[in-house]
Amino acid sequence: AGLFFVGYILFEVPSNLILQRVGAKMWIARIMITWGLLSTATMFVTTPTQFYVIRFLLGVAEAGFLPGVLFYLTLWFPTYRRGRIIALFMIGLPLSSVIGGPLSGWIMGHFDMRHGLHGWQWLFLLEGIPSVLLGVLTFWLLPNTYQQA
């Protein structure tokens, strides 16, 4: 986890500067696609060094997502509604832990050694694919501003 946060912290500000320059649609989609690809790539890790590199790159890839989404929400919602909207967004983290933990255990147990892959490899594959697909949808469907909606 440490190397992830090194990459995340180092690239959070540059990531948000780029977001302001290229727009939320493109940059949030890029973040989602990149983290999905890197999560999927974790299934191929065979050495500690490869793991460390992937974790650092995953931090770089995810840098700016949370502040970027919060910035995006400020473009859409007036000040008096932002607290509720941001709370609804933030509740996703604990909900993902409640759902993701048991689901991850089930995936690792159910898929272990299917098609020659260990359960942990399936976990990274099945975690990465939705991120890539949702990133592509984000690019095609998310307007940069409410005026473009």
- Distance separating alpha carbons of residues 120 and 107, to the nearest angstrom: 8
Give me the CATH number covering residue 52.
1.20.1250.20
Is 81:33 a contact under the CB 8 Å cutoff? no
Helix axes 48-62, 2-22, angle to 10 degrees: 30
Residues paired with 117 in a beta bridge: 114
**Given a cut of 80, is residue 145 above it in pLDDT?**
no
The tally of domains found in the chain comes to: 1
CA of residue 134 relative to chain centroid, distance: 10
- Distance separating alpha carbons of residues 104 and 136, to the nearest angstrom: 24
Provide the pLDDT for residue 144. 79
Q: How confident is the model at residue 149 (pLDDT cuts 50, 70, 90)?
A: low
- Record the pTM: 0.90
Domain extent for 123: 2-148
For 90-108, the pLDDT digits (tens) are 999 999 999 999 999 999 9
